[in-house]
Structure 1
Amino acid sequence: MEEIRVLENEKLRFSKPAMRILENEHRYLTYLMDEWHAIVLWFEQHRILDMEEGHKQLEKLRMQIIDFRVPLKKHTEKEEEHFFSLLGTYIGFEQGPLVGIQEEHREIEGYIGHFLYQTEGDLSLLTLDEIQEAAKNAGEAFEVLTVHFIKEETVLFPMAEQQINRNDLTKLCDKLNTLIS
């Protein structure tokens, strides 16, 4: 509960409502990520682990990532369909920051998808090495997501606030103003 209050008390950095929506979604997704990343860290700190506890923690991690994937997918789709397509008309689509950011969306989905593939079926059949490898992929997804959000908030969002005209930002806000959870 304390963590939620911290998020609520932090001020949003961006002034334009459309960017504030995306920034707020990043905060929500980061909150969810922190929950499952704690399990990834548990795996990193417990190299030699009890099989039963390892399977239990892996099941918990799998369920949290499955739940996380839904709002992440909605957020990513909103960015790609509405935000990136508009920003691209101002800065271009062929090169520059949009190309790298969109590639990161695919990379994130790849890590999450690989983790879910590795943990399909009966988890009790997985070896310690397979459990550790799956947890490592979840950790990679967390790291790429964290850096990805920072890039969007330090490069794309300020660029959008400076370059996109007010009328387009208003229309973008209307399109982005939907729930992701």
Structure 2
Amino acid sequence: MMDLCCHMGGQEEVKLCAGLERLKQEHGPLRELKQRMFELAQEIVGDEEERNWKERLLVLRESVQALVTELDPHSEREEGVLFPMMAQYIGRTFGPIAVMEYEHDQAKQRLASFLTKTAELPETVDRESAAALANEVIEAYHILAEHFMKEENVLFPMAERLLSDEEKEELAEKIGQI
């Protein structure tokens, strides 16, 4: 049955070790925070009539900060532990690790830019400025949505196949310390 699935282009389900499973499970709460942030940003971009742009940007800012607070340690577990372990096998300059690090950087840059630009908002904010700021958040959302999918469907299964049992234990131990 498995062979049939694979020949038809399906992907074999891979049971992940404890460390990889933890990283995958962390995506759930991050997705919820990311979704809330995205919805707030979309409301700002899509609203033609509203006038309280500053208040709405401050609410969005709180949502972005909540995501970043949870996202940073997750990223550190990946960048500081998983990626270097995998890089021993597949390198870091090109390929999956390079892509994952690039996507981390792109999402973080957009979120940081939004937070910097909204740290001291003027008393009045016009619709165009509010929409431009919210669009940075929307771009970060899209990067992270695709990124999580790639990790869950490609990177984590690849790591499960590449890493030795000892490395998997080390992975779980090290990410537990972050």
TM-score (norm 2): 0.86
Q: Is the 8 A contact 1:83 1:172 kept in 2?
A: yes
Does residue 1:119 correspond to 2:115, yes or no?
no
Could you say which structure has the larger radius of gyration? 2
Q: Which amino acid in 2 is paired with 1:115?
A: F
Q: Which amino acid in 1 is paired with 2:39?
A: A
| Change over 3 Å in CA distance of 1:103–1:163 after alignment to 2 | same
Aligned counterparts, 1:125-144, within 5 A: 125-144=124-143
Structure-1 residue corresponding to 2:7: none
Unaligned runs of 5+ in 1: 1-12
Distance 2:64 2:77 in 1: 20
Q: Kindly report the root-mean-square deviation, in angstroms, between the aligned alpha carbons of the 2 structures.
A: 1.8
Distance 2:42 2:121 in 1: 23
Distance 1:18 1:90 in 2: 18
Aligned counterparts, 1:97-112, within 5 A: 97-112=96-111
Unaligned runs of 5+ in 2: 1-13
Distance 2:122 2:176 in 1: 39
Structure-2 residue corresponding to 1:28: 29
Shift of 1:70: 1.4
Structure-2 residue corresponding to 1:40: 41
Residue-pair matches, total: 166
Structure-1 residue corresponding to 2:3: none
SS of structure 1 residue aligned to 2:73: helix
Shift of 1:117: 2.2
Task: Give runs of ≥4 in structure 1 deviating > 4 Å.
Answer: none
SS of structure 2 residue aligned to 1:21: helix
Structure-2 residue corresponding to 1:4: none
Does residue 1:49 correspond to 2:85, yes or no?
no
Distance 1:95 1:15 in 2: 24
Shift of 1:147: 0.5
Q: Which amino acid in 2 is paired with 1:79?
A: E
| Superimposed CA distance per residue, residues 54-97 of structure 1 (whole angstroms, 9 cap, x where no aligned partner) | 32221110011112111111111111110001011121122211
Distance 1:126 1:28 in 2: 31
Shift of 1:178: 4.9
Q: Is the 8 A contact 1:21 1:177 kept in 2?
A: no
Identical columns (%): 25
Structure-2 residue corresponding to 1:89: 88
Structure-1 residue corresponding to 2:17: 16
Shift of 1:22: 0.4
SS of structure 2 residue aligned to 1:93: coil
Q: Is the 8 A contact 2:45 2:130 kept in 1?
A: no
| Superimposed CA distance per residue, residues 143-171 of structure 1 (whole angstroms, 9 cap, x where no aligned partner) | 00000111111111010011111110011
